[in-house]
Amino acid sequence: MWKSIEIHKNQLATHQDRWNACIEAVTENSVPPDQGTPKTAWFAYSYFFEMESGGHEAYFYHLDQVIKEYGDERFLQDTEKALQTIGADQHAAIVRQYGKKIWDLYLQVEEQSKQEDYFYEKLAAADKSYYSCEPSLQEYLETFCEENYQNLMTVLDG
């Protein structure tokens, strides 16, 4: 269930204010919501944040438990769908092309330290693809948040 933040309308005066409020709304939720705009925002932002924090390795490492509980195929499909929903088709294609393969390699390396070199080769290829995308995922997310921020939080008058 989505934990909604409350924010006063006068705190949303600028694009940067609304972007920051969207980030706060998403990060208040440690597990993916069930549906709609919050679900799209959570999956797209989680991918973006972890990619900007350390690439696909950080993405899988920091979301490891959530992915295992949610189910890896469903998690990756929902991430891909969220990226498509916000218009980030290139980024969605990266998740589709590399996501499951890297996740499976991640588990092998984690459990048995097998195929570590191959794992890092795939990470490097996926990261290179991600960082070469134009426009950046942040641009897509900012546009999505600008258009949908009222669906991610409770906006109070005043």
30 pLDDT higher than 90: no
Identify the domain containing residue 63 by its residue range.
12-151
Which pLDDT score is estimated for 35? 86
Q: Is residue 3 part of a domain?
A: no
DSSP reduced 3-state for 158: coil
Tell me how many domains the chain contains. Answer: 1
33 lies in some domain = yes
Which string of DSSP letters, residue by residue, matches 2-69? ---EEEEGGGG-SHHHHHHHHHHHHHT-SS--SSHHHHHHHHHHHHHHHHHHHHHHHHHHHTHHHHHH
At 156, give phi and psi (nearest 5°). Answer: -95, 145
SS3 category, 155: strand
In a domain, 50, yes or no: yes
For residues 73, 64, 96, 133, the Cα torsion angle rounded to the nearest 10 degrees is: 160
Mean pLDDT, rounded, for 14-35: 93
What pLDDT is recorded for position 158? 67
What pLDDT was estimated at residue 34? 85
Structure confidence at residue 136 (pLDDT): 97
